[in-house]
Amino acid sequence: MIKTILCTSFLTMYYCMVATATAPGITVVYDAKKKAVNIKWQQKVPGIKSFIIQRSADNTEWTDIARQESVNFNPGKTYQFWDTKSAPGQNYYRLKCVMEKGQAEYSPGVIIITGVANHWVMYPVPVRDVLTLQYKGTEKITGVINIFIQNVNGRIITRLRSASLNTVIKIPVDNLGKGIYDIRIVVEDEVIWNQRFVK
């Protein structure tokens, strides 16, 4: 299964993948200020000798871009790697876990899309009671606009739909507690915008 992230602004975006039985789920972060992709993961089970971070442009041909050894198994330890050589557009990432007996297991892949023009504006941030989304693009949106708000753990808290003709969408958020949230716009099953905001 491949999950997609669309990074369209100067803020950091993230997405957590579901793990397999052995291979950890990975968190992929794009930092537009650093122009780099950060990959993080935690080892869940013992018996892994090393982690190989792989990148692909097409989800078919994979290239090893870094290797980290697993030392002294600690399920709470976080590993990370900064990829400063990702190409604009689509980049796929996954982990290759090399076991102590030599076999390998792969994490599910993640697509991260960078360098895409930002056609949506969100304000105010931090927000109090109402969050406003405004579409400033010139292309016509086809299909219903689906908006999802989730907490940092990935749990969806708010879902709403809006007609594609609406260029200004106001979202009541007075039910949200103080904290950090992610908002995602999906049109025709495709993530077209993803952003983080503070309440």
% of residues, the chain, pLDDT over 70 = 85
The mean per-residue pLDDT over the stretch 49-71 comes to 92
**pLDDT at 142 > cutoff 70:** yes
Residue 177's pLDDT is what? 94
Domains of the chain with CATH codes? 3-114 (2.60.40.10), 120-198 (2.60.40.10)
Structure tokens at 87: 């190409």
Provide the pLDDT confidence category of residue 117 given band limits of 50, 70 and 90.
low
Provide the pLDDT confidence category of residue 13 given band limits of 50, 70 and 90.
very low
Provide the pLDDT confidence category of residue 79 given band limits of 50, 70 and 90.
very high
Cis upstream peptide for 124 (omega within 30°): yes
User: Contact at 8 Å (CB) between 145 and 164?
Assistant: yes
The mean per-residue pLDDT over the stretch 76-90 comes to 86
Provide the pLDDT confidence category of residue 7 given band limits of 50, 70 and 90.
very low
DSSP of 71-109: -S--TT-EEEEEES-PPSEEEEEEEEEEETTS-EEEPPP
The mean per-residue pLDDT over the stretch 66-73 comes to 91
N residues, the chain:
199
Distances (CA, A) of 126 to 77, 134, 179: 32, 16, 10
Residue 87's pLDDT is what? 82
- Tell me, yes or no, if the pTM score tops 0.75: no
**pLDDT at 115 > cutoff 70:** no
Residue 132's pLDDT is what? 92
How many separate helices (H) and strands (E) can be counted in the chain?
A: 0, 17
Q: pLDDT averaged over the chain? A: 81
**Which of the two residues, 23 and 142, has the higher pLDDT score?**
142
Residue 151's pLDDT is what? 87
Residue 83's pLDDT is what? 94
Residue 53's pLDDT is what? 96
Which has the minimum average pLDDT: 27-31, 73-77, 123-127, 157-161? Answer: 27-31
Residue 138's pLDDT is what? 76
